[in-house]
Amino acid sequence: MSDSEPTALYAAREPIFPRRVSGPFRTLKWWIMGVTLGIYYLTPWIRWDRGPNLPDQAVLIDLAGRRFYFFWIEIWPHELYFVAGLLIMAGVGLFLFTSALGRVWCGYACPQTVWTDLFLLVERWIEGDRNARMRLWKSGWTLRKIRLSLTKWTLWMLISVATGGAWVFYFADAPTLLRDLIALDAAPVAYFTIMILTGTTFVLGGFMREQICIYMCPWPRIQAAMMDEETLTVAYRDWRGEPRSKGTKRRALAERAMASAQAAGPRIGGRSPRIPMPGIEPAAGKPEPARDEPGDCIDCNACVNVCPVGIDIRDGQQLACITCALCIDACDDVMARIGKPRGLIDYLAFSDEKRERAGKSSLSVWRHVLRPRTIAYTTLWSFIGLALLYALFVRPGIDITVAPVRNPQFVVLSDGSIRNAYDVRLRNKHGEDRPFRIQIVGNAALRLDLEGVDATQVPVPADDTARQRVYVIASANTDPALADSTDIRFWVEDIVSGERSYQDSVFNGRTRP
Amino acid sequence: MMDNRTDHDPVTGTETTGHNWDGIQELNTPLPRWWLWTFYLTIVWGIGYCIAYPAWPLIDRATTGLLGYSTRAEVEAQIAEVDARNADVAARLASADLATLERDDPAYHYGVAGGAAVFLAHCSQCHGAGAAGALGYPNLLDDDWLWGGTLDAIAATVRHGIRNDTDDDARWSEMPAYGEFLEAEQIAATTEFVLQLSGQAHDSQLAASGAIIFAEECASCHMVSGAGDPETGAPDLTDAIWLYGGDREAITESITNSRFGVMPAWGPRLDEVEIKAVTLYVHQLGGGE
């Protein structure tokens, strides 16, 4: 027990200078970066012809008009369950990927990771690789450092403006908005949004980086709770790498181990099994438990140097690790050079780690990916997806909603007949004006009357909702007039296309005491 | 200062704060310094906000803030902005002839929407929020109108009111309290005849003698047929709608003591646009003629 005060309650950020690395995972990350950034920047510019009355932007969130356009799909506010369904699918999809492959979202697809990666690319291009950047960091503010920093920040700022700029194009016609933006003629909210998103992109991608993941983002905590012992995640084969050593110490260890091995006699296999990549057959030969000979880790720090969050994966799984797998590429490269099998750092499940320590071979990738939990997630995900698809294809181009007027429930007319009023909304999802016919079918005692309209037809403008007060009248002393309430069904028919839709409601009669 | 090594947790190697509660040590995992600066920044922002915006409650009001912002002023500005935007259509409604105003005219929609607000503010106390009225207060949804249900008739009723002392043009009529002139038997006979007129169960013998009394005393206003007269506000006694109730007891009461429903004149209180707006609103509730 000590009563001395700790050295500091607050710590400055340790600058991180990730080294360039190449390998299959880096290549995969380049591809994902290209595709995701491409989708983000280019989508608003895709055109889609919907006819004269509707916008021709393929993906458009029209907040003022309360429509969401996605290629051939048009979502109205009352169909927000599609969006809710997609969000649920995104959630379940994240459960699926996290339970199977750990924090792959963080490592490959999260915008924070993708933009940080892009900013690092620029940084490396301007200032050079890890060592050059470290030297530059330590040096004073020379003219060269000022020039390089300004160049880097300018490029970052251009990317940030493009990023913030692309966002607003999703909410308005992109070519028109771009012209307005340049002519300083666009809505203030557009400039404001661009400014905020430019600022956040610049700060989050250029300066905050891993601080966002470690201190701000809730996902590391949530996803950590969704992983289990069968989840494949980036890990260090501790049993194989330790004791790590290099230089003369390593030579001394190796000689001592050689001597003891010769004394013990011949044996089969080694402690360095071939670790398969997905799709490649695992090699024969079982790993042996660690002995006192030097481990495969030569303590070259390649894994640490490439890490974008500045951690040492050899310390085990940790909250800061975004599982970007760049350390795997870095270590595989080193292992290849020193003639050892790949996979000292690898996608590894906790259960495999235990198996390997016990001298058994690890399970195949598919045994980790396909298990009841992931299959359950996939089933749920597919079920929601199919339900949404079904709903999407059966929804009619017209729609009716009926709100009975409750104040009063009914009105007695001069001739003793009972009249109920309904506020009816007619939705025309077509790109042209359509006449709709309203009917009540199946109850001869009920008569329909439309406020202000002589016929039973209502013209509904293109892609719009028409409101119509509708009266239903039951003659005196008929069943519906005397019954407490009678079920009725409103039918609406698009006279042009013949599409029909209905909604049920009730008719309130004169309540007898 | 004690031995430095005891300041570290043996399991994780993390530095401890030196705090110890019942043997539980608090580890020191330092927060990032930028977090601290962000915290200070929020304090500075908070102080600035208190200076710029209304913040501190005083005895009778709050500090106003340097920017002079107030939500009430903002609402007033927004209302003024909407009024300015609607000035044209309001002027159009004020000068419009309601009877010929087209339903797809913007002034019509403006009138119905604005009339709903006028109705809730000024009319709903008696006629009800749904305009269904109550005993003694006419239902404006049905197809029966004491003083006429055309747009012009409704506008006149709104403007001048009914049986009030304040407006010389108020609609006026007064039914005598027949309890002062007729015997109880005569009133009972008239009641039976009125029941017969509206197709309800009645005593036909009494109704026959009541018909004579009706022709003498009542037909001048309620017409021989009993269908009433909107010129004098005499109710139609043949239909199913009764302002004060249509059963034997209620009709007897009406004949004996008469009724005298009053509606104030709204001309002095509402402006031309509001009167026309509420007229349009009432007319389209389902009973307009």
ipTM, two decimals, is 0.83
Confidence of residue A5 (pLDDT cuts 50, 70, 90): low
Rounded Cα distance between A327 and A406, Å, is 68
The residue of chain B nearest to residue A449, with distances taken between CA atoms, is: B286
Q: Does B34 touch chain A (CB under 8 A)?
A: yes
Q: At what angle do helices A219-226 and A81-101 cross, to 10 degrees?
A: 60
Number of A/B CB contacts below 8 angstroms equals 97
**pLDDT given for residue B20 in this prediction:** 84
User: Is the preceding omega at residue A408 within 30 degrees of 0, hence cis?
Assistant: yes
Contact residues on chain B for A203, CB-CB shorter than 8 A: none
pLDDT value of position B23: 84
Work out the widest C-alpha separation in chain A, in whole angstroms: 117
The single residue listed with the structure tokens 């026959």 is: B208
pLDDT tens readout for residues A153-163: 999 999 999 99
Distance, in Å, from the CA atom of B184 to the CA atom of B171, rounded to the nearest integer, reads: 31
Confidence (pLDDT) at A512: 56
Query: What pLDDT, on the 0 to 100 scale, is given for residue B81?
Result: 97
Interface with B, mutate which of A413, A417, A508 (most B CBs under 10 A): A413
- Residue A36, classified by CB atoms within 10 Å of its CB into exposed (0-12), middle (13-18) or buried (19+), is middle
What mean pLDDT, rounded, does chain B reach? Answer: 92
Task: Please check whether residue B221 touches A, CB under 8 A.
Answer: no
pLDDT above 90 covers what percent of chain B?
Answer: 83
Please report the pLDDT score of residue B6 as a whole number.
53
Q: Which residues of A touch B112 (CB under 8 A)?
A: none
pLDDT tens digits along A267-292: 444 444 444 455 444 444 444 444 56
Domains of chain A: residue spans and CATH: 24-79+104-217 (no CATH), 398-508 (2.60.40.10)
Mean pLDDT over the full length of chain A: 88
Percent of chain A's residues with pLDDT above 70:
92
* pLDDT for position A267: 47
Is A9 close to B30, i.e. CB distance below 8 A?
A: yes
B166-181 pLDDT per residue, tens: 999 999 999 999 999 9
Chain A residue closest to B31 (CA)?
Answer: A10
State the pLDDT at residue A2: 46
pLDDT at B2: 43
Q: Does A471 touch chain B (CB under 8 A)?
A: yes
Range B218-228 average pLDDT: 94
> Which pTM does this prediction carry?
0.79
- Report the 10 Å Cβ neighbour count for A117: 21
Instruction: Tell me how crowded residue A399 is: count the other CB atoms within 10 A of its CB.
Output: 19
Higher-confidence residue of A269 and A316: namely A316
Q: Element (H or E) spanning A482, and its range?
A: helix A479-482
Sorted by sequence, the CB contacts under 8 Å of residue A164 that are 6+ apart come out as A193, A194, A195, A196, A197, A198, A199, A200, A201
Closest CA to A199 of A171, A170, A165, A172: A165
Up-side HSE of residue B78: CA atoms within 13 Å toward CB? 6
Say yes or no for a CB contact (<8 Å) between A469 and B20.
no
| Mean pLDDT, residues B241-267 taken together | 95
What Å distances lie between residue A68 and A72, A157, A187, A350, A385, CA to CA?
11, 30, 20, 44, 19
Quick check: A501 pLDDT over 80?
A: yes
* Residue A130 CB contacts under 8 Å (≥ 6 apart), including other chains: A17, A18, A19, A20, A305
Q: Determine the distance in angstroms separating the CA of A57 from the nearest CA of chain B, rounded to an integer.
A: 31
CB of B84 less than 8 A from some CB of A: no
Residue A480: C-alpha distances to residues A443, A444, A473, A504 (Å)? 9, 10, 9, 15
The Cα B252–Cα B210 span in angstroms is 12
Interatomic CA distance for residues A68 and A87, integer angstroms: 15
pLDDT in tens, B114-125: 999 999 999 999
Partner-chain residue, chosen from B7, B32, B239, that has the shortest CB–CB distance to A211: B32
pLDDT by residue (tens digit) across B59-108? 998 898 999 899 999 999 999 999 999 999 999 999 999 999 998 899 99
- Which of B88, B108, B121 has its CA nearest to residue B151? B108
CB-CB neighbors (< 8 A) of A8 in chain B: 30
Q: Which among B35, B128, B286 is the nearest to A451, CB-wise?
A: B286
B45 neighbors A20 (Cβ within 8 angstroms) = no
- Asked if the Cβ–Cβ distance from A413 to B241 is below 8 Å, we say yes
Residues of chain A numbered 189-248 and touching chain B (CB < 8 Å): 208, 211, 215
Q: What is the pLDDT of residue A286?
A: 44
Max distance between CA atoms of chain B, in angstroms, equals 122
Tell whether B284 is within 8 A of chain A (Cβ): yes
**Mean pLDDT confidence for A63-90:** 91
Q: Are B14 and B29 in contact (CB under 8 A)?
A: yes
